[in-house]
Structure 1
Amino acid sequence: MPALASAEASAVIKKPAEGGQGGAPDLNDAARLEAFVDGIMEIQLKNMSIPGAVISIVKDGKSLLAKGYGYSNIKEGKPVDPEKSLFRIASTTKLFTWTAVMQLVEQGKIDLDKDINTYLKEVRIPATYEEPITMRHLMTHTAGFEDGGVGYQITTDPAKLPVSIAETLTRHMPARVMPPGEMIAYSNYGTALAGLIVEDVSGIAYNDYIQRNIFDRLGMKYATVHEPVPAELAPYAAVGYARENGRFAAKPLTFEGGFRPAGSGSVSALDMSRFMIAHLQNGQYGEARLLKPETAKVMHAPAFQFDERLPGMALGFYELRLNGQRIISHGGADPLFNTELYLVPDQGLGIFVSYSGGEGGTAASEMSQAFFNRYFPVGENSFPSVAAELEQDLQKYAGSYQFLRRNHTDIDKFYSFLAQISISVADNRLTIGSGAEQQIFAPIGPNLFQAVGGTNQIGFRTDDSGQVTHLLMDFLSSEPLERTPLINRTSLWLPLLALSAAVFVTTVLGFIPRIRAIRAMPKPQRWASRLSAATAAWALMTCAATFVIVLNMDLVDRLSRITTSLQLYLFMPLLLVVLSIAMVLAAAWAWRKKYWTVMKRVHYSLTALAAIVMSLFFYHWNLLGWQFG
């Protein structure tokens, strides 16, 4: 590839093009399009440790580009083939599930606004709230389920496949934590439920339904939702790699099992072109019809909006906005593959890109932004004039926000402990992040802000009293956030844990040089002193183990099994609670009997208090006992 193409691609990745759309290159110039994409891919595969990638671009019912980069199998020296190489597309599979649902809707077999329990044969959704969950709620991720997955969401053992969707969803049913229709909380469980409804309503197994009614209908010969891929397609499956010691090492694939409607797909780029064209042409691909035009239009239209000025959810697709273009999209990621699919209905344009290994998520985001910068450029951003009061009342937006997509009732809750976003106010602007990653947003309307020097926008919701309750970032339209209550804030717990740890350290360090003196104490005082040292040491070990064993657990291990180390670790917080209760009782007894000096009794009490604080931390974050979903 010419160096000029590589340099040009690099420049477009870094910043939006200036000038109007009229000066944009012609998308139908196949040679320039290919050179441009080649340049980006060359940079990405080299700099982001990516062994293989594939892309397909369609417009106005025809393929503009379909090309593979790197290798689908390094050991065999097999290059990526856009026609036949099967890339794992993870959650992008959901689009097949939602399309299947809409096929049954247009046949009159599913009503989007009817209680889903009407259609389920084996699974029963509890009536936690007065309003039932409907298919529309599932398709817009507004059913109100908590998130989960520790120990059961995936498997790496093909011998455990296949498994029943119904049995899986019954065994691992998440709690309903929000009334349906209230707010988006992305849910793999909700999509798997929709896939089960496809089975129950059609009378056809989910895998077979997708094969017959989508893949066969569109002539998608290199596509499957079976796990592992069928024997006849196995030679074409791209291998997943991780970078180890400067080389690519093949890793076992992960499988969705009973959650397969949410992420089991393996598809070639050219076959995804067919699927994209069908949706862009309102259900028509050649002589084949995937959906009726009116059904496709309903599916692609906004169905739930956080704010009408920001992207929301269509039925199954989430909306994005890049350089002024409305996009309906869906991505997918597993530990080894990253995929994005973008449809721009107004332009008849579709883009599918998938990467194996490396920084594929970053690469996909850069690719899409570079593409739109080049072919749909925007000029320099000029902010609309805003009322002065919009710049004077920014403090109400400041604070911590947590994602609505999180767990409340199981051990999974702990993994949202650090997943919070902090917003600050400086110079009449809102700031997110710090250093090179910091983004600055200026007000452009009531509760609406735009990135300074960029096009990204964020919006807020307020309650009847004007208090800010929610946040949405337009580049994460399926992941709204809400105000973090004090009890969940890292700004509360981290200082408390640090202070508690400091007390424990002084207790342990103070005990060591006093061992002889303690031996000479009366028995009750001797055991009370030993109890404080044991509690402090155990608390420090438990805290360290929490962050080393639990928080840093390998993602595949976390989602595929309950490890022995996790099982054993969970004894530690329970023992700490027992020691903490004993410390409180011992402290009360020490004050009553006037053990030691007053200062030593105060320090003893502080150690007991620190142990209680740490025990409350484990209780609040569901680390007391074996709370698995």
Structure 2
Amino acid sequence: MTTPATVRSAAGYLLSWIEAQAAHRRVPGVQVAVRSGDELVLSAAVGVADVAAGTPLTTGHLFRVASHSKMFTATAVLQLVEAGRMRLDDPIGRHLPELSAGSSPIARATVRELLGHLSGVARDGAAADFWQLEQPFPDRDAVLAEVLRDGVVHRRNEYFKYSNVGYALVGLAIEAVTGTPYAEHLRSAVLEPLGLTRTGADHDPARTGEFAAGHTALLLGADRRETLGQADTGAMAAATGFFSTAEELTVFGAGHHFGDERLLADDSKRLMQRLESVVTAYGSEVGRYGIGMALMTVGDRELVGHSGGYPGHSTQTLIDPVGRLVVSVLTNAIDGPAEDLAVGLVKLVDLALQPRVEVPPPPDGAPPPASFTGRFSSLWGVLDIAELGGRLVMVRPTLPDPLPTVEELQVVDGSTLRSAAQPGFGPAGELIRLERDADGRVASLRYGGVTCRPVAPPLRHLPG
């Protein structure tokens, strides 16, 4: 079980690490939220919502969270299953008779297979330049026509075949079962029970000014990004239409904790979170998937959740339904490192909760840990001395993975630290000598004999 108080105490450094990552990796904006148990311990925004306009990003800006939509769709299906209105083993043709009338083998694919990407149906169709915003996303008739014409790629259950078209079919089935438009049903069945007001199933033109702008990637050494607009996703909303904020996505994620039955009974959550596919391509495992959720192991945590890739936005939410931790990271660039940042935050949370190795306690009368902390740099890069879980650790904040080079630090006296004695190629076990200014702040330190000096903190863009 995650301890909210410990995670809350680490929130300041979690944000500082995100700031360093965003600056180093040149991400326009990052919106981040961390929920531990029932408590929102971090909600923050760094950078800009629009590079061209220079608008500061806030925690209220809306992001297109793309394939997060699949978690919402699968949740709605399991609710209908619990109510006896749909079965996971229903053939999709039962709800979409056009497929049966057209003699498509996809008509026999089950709802479960579509939700688990095992139906063999095409990913996006033969003409998918809607992903470049060069044409509209397909409507109901266009999706069905595409499936009837070119929908079959593999036999059912032959391969894991990620399919947005398959989720579009499930969205149409939800409409057939409920007699209600997809967005309207999802609002009443999933969003309102959680009190989500900044989340919706597709682009809402009335809220255009609330969206963070999307941005192109930095390609081949380029240093300029182009700003991208918004688009309605039509019948593909069930696969990729949703918008939200990091904060509200952690509320949705907490709805999938065991014991929280606002959305689903625990039996249904176990179905969604159960491993359906180990995805292996060219001999290497590239992912794991359940029903509407991706599965991932980080340290000792078994996580579920989803990523999202929309023109101009890259997003990731990770949920520990047993340890009751949710991390959501939203970036407004196609190449935004949302997964790296979310995984890194989980690792830093666990570092706060559990030392990598025990070191001797501080001597009596030693200054508090906070008096040693800061961000420092030398010719060889940047390092942080951070307080996590009441301990001092050294972190290299520009590395994609913070954990492998983390060092536990021992307080020797008010001007000396020692890195934990461990095998390695660096100065492990050596003293770190500090110089303090007249106000007692760390003015420099020597790590491995090299002088490191404080780095001025970057500008934070937080809501007023």
Tell me, in whole angstroms, the C-alpha distance in 2 between the residues paired with 1:304 and 1:358. 27
Which residue is equivalent to 1:133? 109
Which residue is equivalent to 2:382? none
Tell me, in whole angstroms, the C-alpha distance in 2 between the residues paired with 1:291 and 1:272. 16
Task: Compute the displacement of 1:376 (Å).
Answer: 3.2
Which residue is equivalent to 1:348? 324
Task: Compute the displacement of 1:133 (Å).
Answer: 1.0
CA shift digits 1:378-429 (9 cap, x unpaired): 999xxxxxxxxxxxxxxxxxxxxxxxxxxxxxxxxxxxxxxxxxxxxxxxxx
Q: Give the alignment partner of residue 44 of structure 1, picking from 21, 28, 53.
A: 21
Which residue is equivalent to 1:216? 192
Asked whether 1:336 is paired with 2:309, we answer no
Task: Compute the displacement of 1:61 (Å).
Answer: 2.3
Tell me, in whole angstroms, the C-alpha distance in 2 between the residues paired with 1:130 and 1:234. 37
Letter in 2 for 1:34: A
- 1:227-626 map, 5 Å: 227=203, 229-231=204-206, 233-242=207-216, 246-284=223-261, 289-305=262-278, 312-357=288-333, 359-360=335-336, 363-376=337-350
SS at match of 2:30: strand
Q: Compared with structure 1, are the counterparts of its residues 313 and 30 closer, same or farther at alpha carbon in structure 2 (3 Å cutoff)?
A: closer
Q: Give the alignment partner of residue 81 of structure 2, picking from 65, 82, 105.
A: 105
CA shift digits 1:403-460 (9 cap, x unpaired): xxxxxxxxxxxxxxxxxxxxxxxxxxxxxxxxxxxxxxxxxxxxxxxxxx9xxxxxxx
- 1:45-124 map, 5 Å: 45-74=22-51, 77-82=54-59, 84-124=60-100
Letter in 1 for 2:6: D
Tell me, in whole angstroms, the C-alpha distance in 1 between the residues paired with 2:101 and 2:23. 48
Q: Compared with structure 1, are the counterparts of its residues 49 and 316 closer, same or farther at alpha carbon in structure 2 (3 Å cutoff)?
A: same
8 A Cα contact 1:280 1:345, kept in partner: yes
Q: Compared with structure 1, are the counterparts of its residues 112 and 79 closer, same or farther at alpha carbon in structure 2 (3 Å cutoff)?
A: same
Which residue is equivalent to 1:205? 181
Q: Compared with structure 1, are the counterparts of its residues 129 and 28 closer, same or farther at alpha carbon in structure 2 (3 Å cutoff)?
A: same
Task: Compute the displacement of 1:166 (Å).
Answer: 4.0
SS at match of 2:289: coil
Percent identical among aligned pairs is 22
Tell me, in whole angstroms, the C-alpha distance in 2 between the residues paired with 1:125 and 1:38. 55
- 1:148-163 map, 5 Å: 148-152=124-128, 154=130
SS at match of 1:225: coil
**TM-score (norm. length: structure 2):** 0.66
8 A Cα contact 1:57 1:63, kept in partner: yes
Tell me which structure has the larger Cα radius of gyration: 1
CA shift digits 1:1-21 (9 cap, x unpaired): xxxxxxxxxxxxxxxxxxxx9
SS at match of 1:224: coil
Letter in 2 for 1:330: H
Task: Compute the displacement of 1:346 (Å).
Answer: 2.1
8 A Cα contact 1:329 1:341, kept in partner: yes
Task: Compute the displacement of 1:88 (Å).
Answer: 1.0
Q: Compared with structure 1, are the counterparts of its residues 194 and 371 closer, same or farther at alpha carbon in structure 2 (3 Å cutoff)?
A: same
Q: Compared with structure 1, are the counterparts of its residues 170 and 379 closer, same or farther at alpha carbon in structure 2 (3 Å cutoff)?
A: farther
Tell me, in whole angstroms, the C-alpha distance in 2 between the residues paired with 1:300 and 1:336. 29
Which residue is equivalent to 2:400? none
- 1:184-195 map, 5 Å: 184-195=160-171
SS at match of 1:279: coil
Tell me, in whole angstroms, the C-alpha distance in 1 between the residues paired with 2:329 and 2:106. 42
Task: Compute the displacement of 1:319 (Å).
Answer: 1.1
**Cα RMSD, aligned residues only:** 3.2
Tell me, in whole angstroms, the C-alpha distance in 1 between the residues paired with 2:161 and 2:259. 28
Tell me, in whole angstroms, the C-alpha distance in 1 between the residues paired with 2:274 and 2:246. 25
Tell me, in whole angstroms, the C-alpha distance in 2 between the residues paired with 1:235 and 1:359. 23
Letter in 1 for 2:270: K
Asked whether 1:169 is paired with 2:158, we answer no
Tell me, in whole angstroms, the C-alpha distance in 2 between the residues paired with 1:172 and 1:131. 10
Task: Compute the displacement of 1:316 (Å).
Answer: 1.0
Gaps (5+ residues) in structure 2?
Answer: 357-423, 425-464
CA shift digits 1:458-515 (9 cap, x unpaired): xxxxxxxxxxxxxxxxxxxxxxxxxxxxxxxxxxxxxxxxxxxxxxxxxxxxxxxxxx
Letter in 2 for 1:242: T
SS at match of 1:95: helix
Q: Compared with structure 1, are the counterparts of its residues 114 and 251 closer, same or farther at alpha carbon in structure 2 (3 Å cutoff)?
A: closer
Tell me, in whole angstroms, the C-alpha distance in 2 between the residues paired with 1:141 and 1:168. 17
Count of residue pairs brought into register by the alignment? 346
Tell me, in whole angstroms, the C-alpha distance in 1 between the residues paired with 2:101 and 2:162. 18
Tell me, in whole angstroms, the C-alpha distance in 1 between the residues paired with 2:334 and 2:292. 28
Tell me, in whole angstroms, the C-alpha distance in 1 between the residues paired with 2:212 and 2:310. 14
**TM-score (norm. length: structure 1):** 0.50
Which residue is equivalent to 1:572? none
Letter in 1 for 2:119: A
Task: Compute the displacement of 1:175 (Å).
Answer: 3.4
SS at match of 1:154: helix
Tell me, in whole angstroms, the C-alpha distance in 1 between the residues paired with 2:8 and 2:323. 20
Tell me, in whole angstroms, the C-alpha distance in 2 between the residues paired with 1:236 and 1:223. 12
Tell me, in whole angstroms, the C-alpha distance in 2 between the residues paired with 1:87 and 1:215. 16
Which residue is equivalent to 1:226? 202
8 A Cα contact 1:142 1:181, kept in partner: yes
Q: Compared with structure 1, are the counterparts of its residues 351 and 89 closer, same or farther at alpha carbon in structure 2 (3 Å cutoff)?
A: same
8 A Cα contact 1:312 1:319, kept in partner: yes
CA shift digits 1:290-311 (9 cap, x unpaired): 223332232222334569xx87
Task: Compute the displacement of 1:38 (Å).
Answer: 2.1
Letter in 2 for 1:216: E
Tell me, in whole angstroms, the C-alpha distance in 1 between the residues paired with 2:102 and 2:300. 42
Asked whether 1:28 is paired with 2:5, we answer yes
Task: Compute the displacement of 1:187 (Å).
Answer: 0.8
Task: Compute the displacement of 1:98 (Å).
Answer: 1.0
Q: Compared with structure 1, are the counterparts of its residues 223 and 306 closer, same or farther at alpha carbon in structure 2 (3 Å cutoff)?
A: closer
SS at match of 2:88: coil
Task: Compute the displacement of 1:27 (Å).
Answer: 5.5
SS at match of 2:122: coil
8 A Cα contact 1:61 1:281, kept in partner: no
Task: Compute the displacement of 1:69 (Å).
Answer: 1.1
Letter in 2 for 1:221: T
Tell me, in whole angstroms, the C-alpha distance in 2 between the residues paired with 1:86 and 1:130. 35
More helix by share: 1
Q: Compared with structure 1, are the counterparts of its residues 164 and 152 closer, same or farther at alpha carbon in structure 2 (3 Å cutoff)?
A: same
Tell me, in whole angstroms, the C-alpha distance in 1 between the residues paired with 2:255 and 2:165. 27
8 A Cα contact 1:207 1:226, kept in partner: yes
8 A Cα contact 1:49 1:359, kept in partner: no
